[in-house]
Amino acid sequence: MDLKSKINETMTFLTGTVNWRPEVGLILGSGLGALAEEVREALAIPYRKIPHFPVSTVEGHAGKLVMGNLAGKKVAAMQGRFHFYEGYSMADVTYPVRVMREMGVKTLVITNAAGGINPFFRPGDLMLIGDHINLMGDNPLRGPNDETFGPRFPDMSRAYARDLRDKAHAVAASSGIRLQEGVYAGLMGPSYETPAEIRYLRAVGADAVGMSTVPEVIVANHCGIQVLGISCITNMAAGILHQNLSHDEVMAVAEQVRTKFSELVKGILAALD
Ligand code: HPA
């Protein structure tokens, strides 16, 4: 079945389940899913009930689409995302973004857990993504292009909208939240990087590294959704502090930033027009 027909079937289900349209999409990364619990008048739809949605497998990813009201905005929040390293295709990983677009989402807030490369960062910092480097070895737009979704060669020079970042900085400043900004390098994973790879990433201009986000941001740009990206720096990347990396530590630090992360995201949502 082609993408358009799949999306139509997904939409038939979703429009039969909720009778309103979200304006903002949220993708909540590892350990950051708790924000979905703050959505009011929420309807939580498990991914497995949504036709053509892949099903999440990673620990710490609940796998629900939570639709409702957050900070005065109608949102569709993904509690748990699909990763390329889980074995999904790029088309699977980005399918929910296509659906969000079809539902009417204009702004997508994408979050993740990431390792800090910039030596001025520390674990627990939040970083706005100013730009990214795609080192995943694939691109979700590879293959035939459906012009009704977007152009064959989409411009990526403003992949992360400047005015959304300005709003985020203003919210952070008024709430006393330390907010970094930098370049996110997206790698396939699932092994963490070696210290040599981190030295390489630092040399090519990366401030943080992770295993997600890049595919969704490419597809969002392809179909005309503006993006705000936030990384939670859960650890310093391999070799920087000479510590071992573990998923448990990533989850624990993401849990510690929960309050300021949710304050920042809700402040940004409230500031959107
Ligand atoms: N590397 C890659 N992905 C990550 C990291 C890391 O150090 N921390 C959280 N996600």
State the 10-residue block means of pLDDT for the chain, 273 residues long: 94 96 94 89 93 72 87 95 93 96 97 96 96 98 95 97 97 96 97 97 98 98 98 94 82 86 95 92
- Catalytic, 191? Answer no
- The residue annotated as part of the active site, out of 91, 247, 251, 263, is 247
- Catalytic, 118? Answer no
Distance 136 CA to ligand 1 centre (A): 14
- Catalytic, 242? Answer no
Alpha-helical segments (H) within 113-246:
162-175, 195-203, 214-222
C-alpha to C-alpha distance for 202 and 212, rounded to whole angstroms? 18
- The residue annotated as part of the active site, out of 235, 236, 237, 254, is 235
Nearest to 58 by CA among 190, 186, 235, 233: 190
**Cβ neighbours of residue 162 under 8 Å, at least 6 residues apart?**
none
Nearest to 186 by CA among 158, 209, 218, 160: 209
